[in-house]
């Protein structure tokens, strides 16, 4: 008599590319078909099949480390990436480019059933976005943002996500460009770049570990610091340089011969002013969100600029050369790949 039972590997072999697979289990390792999940994983790693599966499960399955849904966490094995944008043209373009598989009709429905939720909105829109999705955020989800400020984002998460704020891991990839939009998507954007995580006291350990693993898998070097230390540091090395870039362009443009001056500019001006072409609304929100630290850095910069102006005005050759030499040496020895220690607060 033929046996009615087959092995997990034989069962996994029955799954075809593009199939929809329903997973059973009580969550957290209870009543889960672990042997079958692992058999599918083994088959995919050995043969690159099956591909483009749609997984259906009613609740969090696995241990958020190596079991359950983690068996399916490979590019190509699962096909559905769900995206939402307030702009229909953006989601349509993202779908055409293959960045997302499904366009969700709302932020709330985009979150439904997700394992990882990435919020990529201007920092001023963070709280409204969290409020829109909070009813479907669970303790099993990993929720991250990519905003350039962190203290305000963390407070927005506390207010909006409430008891689920532990699922949120604030993140800031140091990989920005002066151009925006899905058309500028770059698969290698994060390779070799730093990624700052700013967990809070309520951040769940499992989610923090998963966030570290996700960004590391994308090629990032993960650094951890407090939200306050982050905002102080990036006011100096990111927010102030943007403010200066905007001021420089406006200063030249306001002069009667400004257009002629710009027509004579070369590569030095191009490199210095590149970030002045950044998205106005995004940077309006960043500068206002971190205004205390930005204004502090602006005051320190004014002091340094006034000191140089006095050297020029007085014709103090040695002092001017010394100041320029210090700056030149510091810049020559600086490398973007260096792991900085978080500043003391």
Closest CA to 115 of 217, 250, 206, 216: 206
Alpha-carbon gap, residue 276 to 237, rounded angstroms = 14
Q: Are 225 and 196 in contact (CB under 8 A)?
A: yes
Beta-bridge mates of residue 181: none
Q: Provide the pairing of β-strand 20-22 with 54-56.
A: parallel
Fold classification of 231-332 (topology level): 6-phosphogluconate dehydrogenase C-terminal fold (1.10.3660)
The percent of residues above 70 in pLDDT, for the chain, comes to 86
Q: Is the pLDDT of residue 61 over 70?
A: no
pLDDT tens column, 160-191: 999 999 999 999 999 876 666 666 777 778 88
pLDDT of residue 312: 98
User: Is the separation of the CB atoms in 192 and 221 below 8 Å?
Assistant: yes
Instruction: Kindly report the number of other CB atoms within 10 A of residue 187's CB atom.
Output: 8
The stretch 250-263 carries a mean pLDDT of 97
For position 341, what pLDDT does the model report? Answer: 47
- CB atoms < 10 A from the CB of 316, how many? 13
What is the C-alpha separation between 269 and 309, in angstroms, rounded? 20
pTM of the model: 0.72
Residue intervals of the chain classified under CATH 1.10.3660.10 are 231-332
CATH code of domain 82-226 = 3.40.50.720
* Most confident by average pLDDT, 33-47, 77-91, 214-228: 214-228
Average pLDDT, the chain: 87
Residue spans in the chain of domains classed CATH 3.40.50.720:
82-226
* Burial classification of residue 255, based on how many CB atoms lie within 10 Å of its CB (0-12 exposed, 13-18 middle, 19 or more buried): exposed
Q: Is residue 344 scored above 50 in pLDDT?
A: no
pLDDT of 2-51, one tens digit each? 677 889 999 999 999 988 887 766 555 566 788 888 899 899 889 989 98
Measured CA to CA in angstroms, residue 144 lies from 150, 180, 214, 291, 343 at distances of 12, 19, 11, 23, 23
Q: What contacts 305, CB < 8 A, 6 or more positions away?
A: none
pLDDT at 345: 45
* Average pLDDT, integer, range 302-331: 98
**Model pLDDT, residue 342:** 47
pLDDT at residue 295 greater than cutoff 50? yes
Distance CA 269, CA 290 (A): 27
| HSE-CB of 306 using CA atoms within 13 angstroms | 6
Q: What is the pLDDT of residue 175?
A: 83
């Amino acid at each position: 008599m033929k046996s009615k039972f087959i092995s997990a590997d034989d069962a996994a072999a029955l799954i075809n590319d593009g199939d929809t697979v329903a997973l059973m289990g009580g969550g957290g390792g209870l009543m889960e078909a672990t042997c079958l999940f692992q058999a599918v994983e083994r088959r995919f790693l050995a043969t690159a099949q099956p591909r483009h599966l749609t997984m259906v499960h009613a609740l969090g399955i696995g241990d958020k480390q190596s079991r359950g849904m983690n068996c399916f966490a490979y590019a190509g094995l699962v096909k559905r990436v769900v995206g939402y944008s307030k702009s229909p043209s953006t989601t349509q373009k993202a779908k055409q480019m293959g960045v997302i598989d499904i366009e969700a009709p709302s932020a709330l429905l985009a979150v439904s059933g997700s394992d990882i939720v990435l919020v990529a909105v201007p920092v001023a829109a963070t709280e409204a976005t969290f409020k829109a999705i909070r009813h479907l955020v669970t303790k099993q989800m990993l929720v991250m943002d990519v905003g350039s400020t962190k203290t305000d984002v963390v407070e927005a998460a506390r207010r909006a996500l409430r008891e689920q704020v532990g699922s949120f891991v604030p993140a800031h990839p140091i990989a920005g460009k002066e151009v925006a939009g899905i058309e500028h998507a770059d698969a290698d954007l994060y390779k070799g770049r730093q990624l700052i995580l700013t967990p809070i006291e309520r951040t769940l350990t499992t989610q923090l570990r998963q966030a570290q693993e996700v960004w590391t898998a994308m090629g990032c070097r993960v650094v951890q610091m407090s939200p306050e230390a982050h905002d102080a540091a990036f006011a100096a090395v990111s927010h102030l340089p943007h403010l200066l870039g905007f001021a420089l362009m406006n200063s030249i443009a306001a002069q009667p011969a400004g257009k002629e001056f710009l027509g004579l500019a070369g590569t030095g001006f191009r490199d210095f002013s590149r970030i002045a072409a950044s998205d106005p609304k995004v940077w309006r929100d960043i500068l206002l969100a971190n205004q205390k630290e930005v204004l502090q850095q602006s005051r320190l910069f004014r002091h340094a600029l006034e000191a140089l102006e006095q050297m020029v005005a007085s014709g103090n050759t040695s002092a001017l050369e010394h100041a320029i030499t210090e700056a030149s040496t510091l810049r020559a020895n600086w490398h973007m790949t260096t792991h900085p220690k978080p500043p003391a607060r």
